[in-house]
Chain A
């Protein structure tokens, strides 16, 4: 690991996210126990795992919401454990995070929700640009008419789209999806999955998707990593893993 800490040149082949030997525990409970994963540019990887297996913890470590106990995470070539608050902010401006519960600010309108990250991250942006980007992204998610509404007036699917729009206004290189279809009806879930693949194509993003909704996984995944007992138990395409004979892998595809 010592040798890897000196990496500073980013070539196109370099993965946008590289996780090595990640360990994270809460109290006496170990959640991640030496997890490894690489995410290439333009790729979308689904992390599959049972509830409470530490999938959300994994991507929250990537974005810096949790501090890793051991191991290293490189995001866009930067070792995040060595970053100060400012440096982390720069990474976060390029990494979108779609929360499981959407995390829309319920005291703000849709417009203000979208304005918030732009005003925070892009300090020199002009008001016209802000407005242009808001309209653009809202149109992309198909909810331009809700711009003056409060999040509480929107349905679950609409809230999810607004949340996605909020991560998109910053034009991130990477988007981390935390269970994007959980709690939605199958039709809306399908719409969201479609929107995710469209987004990946249009905005040219790489993504890590946490999910256990197999339909969503099938639609969105380039590769699938199976998280069992805190380690990356298996990795491969949907078809590869579906054919696997391993008990621990098979249980997800039944």
Chain B
């Protein structure tokens, strides 16, 4: 059975990503636990991404509000603006935009970092120095992205909603209290929780793809660049695939 090159390539890539994920879970629950490194990665991945995510979140909320306003006015439901914007932000735009920005910043960063470590034998050096590089580099990073992205999304959502509040106030007027009352009155657990849960998977995908690409980087500086690039592309694609799957699952569970 001879498969065309690209199908063969795709399948072998899928297979090795699955194997990489299995390896991740295998290593995750066995000591030793690299807690210091994990905390450091949380700082590097979470805190240092916050400004970027805050800015994009703010702009997203503001722009979305200003874009939606004319059509809502046309239908005479301008007062529904906070409701529509908050639903859009919390359910879809917040998680996905945050994840994409995060993938752009973190997945490529991890891909390039691990790639160059691989190429310059730092990963081997770690192994020789009595450290399981998979635990030290991969597990900590993947855990950090998995846990930090939901946090970033929550903060980004709130900042987006504040941006949207300002957007409402550019041409209309509403008090912050009334705005947030409307928003929280509209939002339900079925809006927030699936969105939050999917960000966990987004974070995991971003981390694992970045690490996979970096860890399996081919020799040479070109390989490092390619890893970083592929990490962003594949993890962005994964975000949308996960998004698609989540929307179907929540639909089946009747949470939509």
Report if A and B associate in a common complex. yes
B132 touches A63 (CB 8 A): no
Residues 98-136 of A contacting B (Cβ, < 8 Å): 99-106, 116-117, 120-121
B120 touches A121 (CB 8 A): no
The interface residues of chain A lying within 8 Å CB-to-CB of B131 are 116, 120
B122 and chain A: residue at smallest CB distance: A103
The interface residues of chain A lying within 8 Å CB-to-CB of B125 are 97, 99, 103-105
A92 within 8 A of B: yes
The interface residues of chain A lying within 8 Å CB-to-CB of B124 are 60, 65, 97, 99, 103
CA separation between A101 and B116, bound complex, in Å?
11
B127 within 8 A of A: yes
B127 and chain A: residue at smallest CB distance: A65
- Contact digits for A59-102, partner B, Cβ 8 Å, 1 yes 0 no: 01001110000000000000000000100010011010101111
In whole Å, how far is B180's beta carbon from the nearest beta carbon of chain A?
Answer: 42
CA separation between A250 and B130, bound complex, in Å?
40
B129 touches A120 (CB 8 A): yes
The interface residues of chain B lying within 8 Å CB-to-CB of A93 are 130
Interface of A, secondary structure class, is mixed
CA separation between A97 and B122, bound complex, in Å?
12
Interface of B, secondary structure class, is helix
B123 and chain A: residue at smallest CB distance: A103
CA separation between A92 and B129, bound complex, in Å?
7
A101 and chain B: residue at smallest CB distance: B120
In whole Å, how far is B30's beta carbon from the nearest beta carbon of chain A?
Answer: 10
The interface residues of chain B lying within 8 Å CB-to-CB of A97 are 124-125, 128
B121 touches A100 (CB 8 A): yes
B129 and chain A: residue at smallest CB distance: A117
CA separation between A106 and B121, bound complex, in Å?
12
The interface residues of chain A lying within 8 Å CB-to-CB of B119 are 101
- Contact digits for B105-138, partner A, Cβ 8 Å, 1 yes 0 no: 0000000000011011110111111111000000
User: Which listed residue, B120, B121, B122, B130, touches A92 by the CB 8 Å rule?
Assistant: B130
B121 touches A99 (CB 8 A): yes
The interface residues of chain A lying within 8 Å CB-to-CB of B126 are 105
User: Which listed residue, B120, B128, B132, touches A102 by the CB 8 Å rule?
Assistant: B120
B130 touches A117 (CB 8 A): yes
The interface residues of chain A lying within 8 Å CB-to-CB of B116 are 106
CA separation between A120 and B135, bound complex, in Å?
13
CA separation between A63 and B126, bound complex, in Å?
12
In whole Å, how far is B36's beta carbon from the nearest beta carbon of chain A?
Answer: 10
B130 touches A103 (CB 8 A): no
CA separation between A85 and B127, bound complex, in Å?
10
The interface residues of chain A lying within 8 Å CB-to-CB of B122 are 103-106
CA separation between A101 and B117, bound complex, in Å?
10
The interface residues of chain A lying within 8 Å CB-to-CB of B127 are 64-65, 92
The interface residues of chain B lying within 8 Å CB-to-CB of A117 are 128-130
CA separation between A106 and B119, bound complex, in Å?
13
The interface residues of chain A lying within 8 Å CB-to-CB of B117 are 105
The interface residues of chain B lying within 8 Å CB-to-CB of A104 are 122, 125
CA separation between A93 and B128, bound complex, in Å?
8
The interface residues of chain B lying within 8 Å CB-to-CB of A103 are 120-122, 124-125
In whole Å, how far is A159's beta carbon from the nearest beta carbon of chain B?
Answer: 10
- Contact digits for A239-253, partner B, Cβ 8 Å, 1 yes 0 no: 000000000000000
CA separation between A101 and B122, bound complex, in Å?
9
- Contact digits for A131-148, partner B, Cβ 8 Å, 1 yes 0 no: 000000000000000000
In whole Å, how far is B223's beta carbon from the nearest beta carbon of chain A?
Answer: 14
CA separation between A142 and B130, bound complex, in Å?
26
In whole Å, how far is A45's beta carbon from the nearest beta carbon of chain B?
Answer: 19
CA separation between A85 and B131, bound complex, in Å?
10
B32 and chain A: residue at smallest CB distance: A120
Residues 63-82 of B contacting A (Cβ, < 8 Å): none
CA separation between A99 and B117, bound complex, in Å?
12
A85 touches B128 (CB 8 A): no
The interface residues of chain B lying within 8 Å CB-to-CB of A106 are 116, 120, 122
In whole Å, how far is A61's beta carbon from the nearest beta carbon of chain B?
Answer: 12
CA separation between A113 and B179, bound complex, in Å?
53
Q: List 11 A-B contacts (CB under 8 A).
A: A60-B124, A63-B128, A92-B129, A97-B124, A103-B125, A106-B116, A106-B122, A117-B128, A120-B129, A121-B129, A121-B130
Known: A64-B127, A97-B124. 20 other contacts (CB 8 A): A63-B128, A65-B127, A85-B132, A92-B129, A93-B130, A97-B125, A97-B128, A99-B125, A103-B120, A103-B122, A103-B125, A105-B125, A106-B116, A116-B129, A117-B130, A120-B129, A120-B130, A120-B131, A121-B129, A121-B130
- Give the A-binding residues of B (Cβ under 8 A): 116-117, 119-122, 124-132
Which 4 pairs across A and B sit closest by C-beta, in order of nearness? A103-B125, A117-B129, A120-B130, A103-B121
